[in-house]
Structure 1
Amino acid sequence: MKVVISGFYGLGNTGDEAILESIVDNLREELDNPDITVFSLSPQETASTHNVKSVYRGWRHENKEKIRALRQADLLISGGGGLLQDTYPTKVIFGPLPYYLLIVFLAKLCGAKVMFFSQGIGPVNTRYGKLLMKVFANLADLITVRDEYSKQLLHKLGVKRPKSIVTSDIVFGFMPKEDKACLESLPLAEEDMNRVVAVSVRPWFGRTEHYAEMAETLDKLLEKKDVIPVFVPMEGHHDVKASNLVIERMKHSDKVHVLAGDFTPNQYLDFIGRSRLTIGMRLHSLIFATLKGVPHIGISYDKKVESLLKRSGMWDYSFLLEEIDTNKMADNAIHLLENRDAASALITENAKELRSEAVRNVDLLREYFGN
């Protein structure tokens, strides 16, 4: 089978690179010698990292190559991740929503089947975005979404052909390999990981209040427990900067560490998996914690984060971005640290179901499109 994968690849986002690695690994595990081409902003790096063919994803060049790849393909996989949304500016053919749907339209014109793969849908709030979804998303031959909210939103947007199937984020099908590069980059010993609280923060549309709130929470936690906060930047320099903005606001800034923003998804997964607790904004920092049975507190800036936390069993300990209570967050962190085994057992049990649903994405692909 010849497959083209379209997504937010080659831009240094750990979550999206983990999605790509999971898709490629699971396709190779379940299909006979799939021929894979990835649309990427860094095609040479993507090709080298994953041993695939790769074409530049933007419209500035290699458009003939994109069309050639789609004409030769049996299937376009659009996803996974939160591709279909208009949170970011959308103008005619610019912005995530028109870009990914135009790739879908091109694939159909070229004779390829289309699967929306393990996607998180929305938000889609503009009139233009809703029109694009109703016209072009209905061209898909198979849709799997990673949560019930996405399924309901598709229905509201008039996307009914085909019906959508709820699975889970394909990163729950990630195939981890032991790699201590993150730990080895820090002045910590392996036994120190039993005190590490992994922290993931991100910028969010000019909002700054959460930097001070996270700083206050970590200071309270440090004053009550012998922990080592370590910031895990999931999107390169963007999250490194956000981490430093938190540290600047801390009274006990001398007790924290920041990982570099250039580790692989597997290396970040390995590090989070060794931590005692994770406090995270980035969706995939929380997915990594769930995969490894690590208790976690989420800060939800989007429905996709809330949906994940409800499925992992940690929503009761977590917060909406607009409703952070620093005293309660510090207390929740202490509770999870002191009752880690019970929390870990709950998460591990929930993760089994999520992993089974993630792998089902590929089972459905094979069922609908053959091998």
Structure 2
Amino acid sequence: MLTSATLLGSSSGRNAGDAALISGIMDAVDRRIATPLRYEIPTVRPSYIRENYPNQTVPISMMPWSGSVKMLGFPTLRSILRTDITLIFDAILFDRSLYNPLFNFMSSLYLMLPYARKRGKRMACYNVGAGPVNTPTGRRMLRELMELMDFITVRDRDSYDILREIGVQNPRMLVAADAALNAPASDRDHARQVLQKLGLPADEEILGININAYIDTWAGPAVTPMGRERFLSVYAAALNRVLEELNVPVLFVCTQHLDVSITRDLMSRVRGKKPMALITNREHNHCDVKAVLSRLALLFGMRLHCMILSAAEHTPVVGLAYQPKNRHFFNTLELAESSMGFEEFGEDALCRHLLRGWEQRASLRKHLDRVIPLLQRKALHGAELVAALHQGEDMDQACRRVADAS
């Protein structure tokens, strides 16, 4: 029987997508088990965890004065040893800057979880994204971590293939979907009020724009980073051409504090005849952001969870992939052609991509009406397997049962 869980992932309180993931996981598990768990969540922002969730949360400080270097430290380790199960979530299983615990959490997991496993602690991967892992050491670390898990649910087929390709043999691995698909949203009336306060009309179609301060630095070894100035210059020129043709209001959306500065810079370069506004997760929590995204006619996004939160509300999305995980999501949506990469980046290509998305927005919404409910059900696989552990079910049998039902 489970009474408590440690959630290990990105939980800074600065990213609305990560906040939605945490919410989606806790809500799904609590509903399935029917008895709320106590969730210990290592974080650099304890106040955010305390104030933004109705669940039973206990923030665990990852600040230096608590004896931590981000996730790596005694507070996190003690939490892992204290709770009944540790759930790894989000996309922290990559090997970039592998030995820097300020940036990379996988090496921290590699130091702590084997010890906890020897102490008999349960652990699982809950709807994770895997990769990129490009180094022999990173691949070995990830493979060995996955073999420790009581079960693994991944959020897309590409992540499943990556884990099998690096040699993961764990038989209790299933393809699920992203937990944020089931995150709650504020009601539509509140979303309308937010848009009105931002000065956007409630009776017109609105184009959403979301960019990422990382630009193309994660796009792969074949891509030479273009730098902020060239990115903004090309993007603004393309967006100005699109707005000249469409003449629609624009909502710029930031779901990560890091992106506010570059988004304001882009806004200063855009000329539109209709109103423009900015919404950020500095002023609004993930529930509000998700609700506002439901009011858009189309989102052109870069941040993965900005697009996931939009799609969850059946808002049409097209993307610019700054990481492989973005393409993985569009593959999951069966909309691979709706994502473009930085190898195609240019004013004409951006303009064509965005205008094509706008022209297809009705058919994209209809497609999401069919696909999203299916993915939302798959996103509950992780909660079903946590419940199986809670009830003492044989996990090999439980994984087969969940796989057969999907």
Question: Does TM-score exceed 0.5, indicating one fold?
Answer: yes
- What count of residue pairs does the alignment treat as equivalent? 366
The equivalent position to 2:87 in structure 1, one of 70, 77, 87, is 77
| Pair 346,106 (structure 1): closer, same or farther in 2 beyond 3 Å | same
Deviations 1:65-108 (A, max 9, x none): 434432332210011x1111123x22275522212333433432
Alpha-carbon distance change, 322 to 203 in structure 1, aligned in 2, over 3 angstroms = farther
8 Å contact kept, 2:5–2:37 = yes
What corresponds to 1:268 in structure 2?
289
The one-letter code sitting in structure 2 at the alignment partner of 1:323 is E
Superposition map of 1:210-229 within 5 A: 210-229=231-250
**Residue of 229, 244, 263 corresponding to 1:243:** 263
Structure 2 runs not aligned, ≥5 long: 68-72, 218-224, 393-406
Residues 308-323 of structure 1 mapped to structure 2, 5 A cutoff: 308-323=329-344
Q: Which residue of 2 aligns with 1:13?
A: 15
Task: State how far apart, in whole Å, the 1-side matches of 2:37 and 2:330 are.
Answer: 34
> What residue number does 2:397 align with?
none
TM-score (norm 1): 0.90
Aligned 8 A contact 2:186 2:290 in 1: no
Q: Answer yes or no: is the 8 Å Cα contact 1:67–1:110 preserved in 2.
A: no
Alignment-mate amino acid for residue 116 of structure 1: C
- Structure 1 residues 357 and 312: alpha-carbon distance in aligned structure 2, compared to 1, 3 A threshold: same
Aligned partner of 2:140 in structure 1 is 131
1:351, 1:43 → 2: CA distance? 32
1:91 to 88, 92, 99: 99
Call closer, same or farther: CA 1:121–1:286 in 2, change over 3 Å: same
* Aligned ranges 1:1-371 → 2 under 5 Å: 1=2, 2-31=4-33, 32-50=35-53, 51-57=56-62, 61=66, 63-79=73-89, 81-87=90-96, 89-91=97-99, 95-178=104-187, 179-180=190-191, 182-191=194-203, 194-204=204-214, 205=217, 207-208=227-228, 209-236=230-257, 238-252=258-272, 255-262=275-282, 263-370=284-391
1: distance between equivalents of 2:116 and 2:38? 16
Match of 2:220 in 1: none
> C-alpha distance in 1, partners of 2:235/2:118?
49
Q: Structure 1 residues 103 and 217 mapped into 2: Cα distance closer, same or farther (>3 Å)?
A: farther
- Measured at CA, do residues 153 and 253 of structure 1 come closer, stay the same or move farther in structure 2, by a change above 3 Å? farther
Structure 1 window deviating more from structure 2 (119-128 vs 276-285): it is 119-128
**Per-residue CA distance 1:3-48 (angstroms, 9 max, x = gap):** 1111110241111111011111112211122222111111233123
The percentage of counterpart residues that share the same residue type is 19
Gaps of 5+ in 1: none
| Change beyond 3 A, Cα 1:261–1:3 | closer
Structure 1 CA distance for aligned equivalents of residues 170 and 47 of structure 2: 36
**TM-score normalised by structure 2 residue count:** 0.83
What is the CA–CA distance in structure 1 between the aligned matches of 2:75 and 2:260, rounded to whole Å? 35
Amino acid at match of 2:210: S
Q: Alpha-carbon deviations, 1:161-219, whole Å to 9, x = none? A: 2442111111112232313264244112322xx32111110022364343233212211
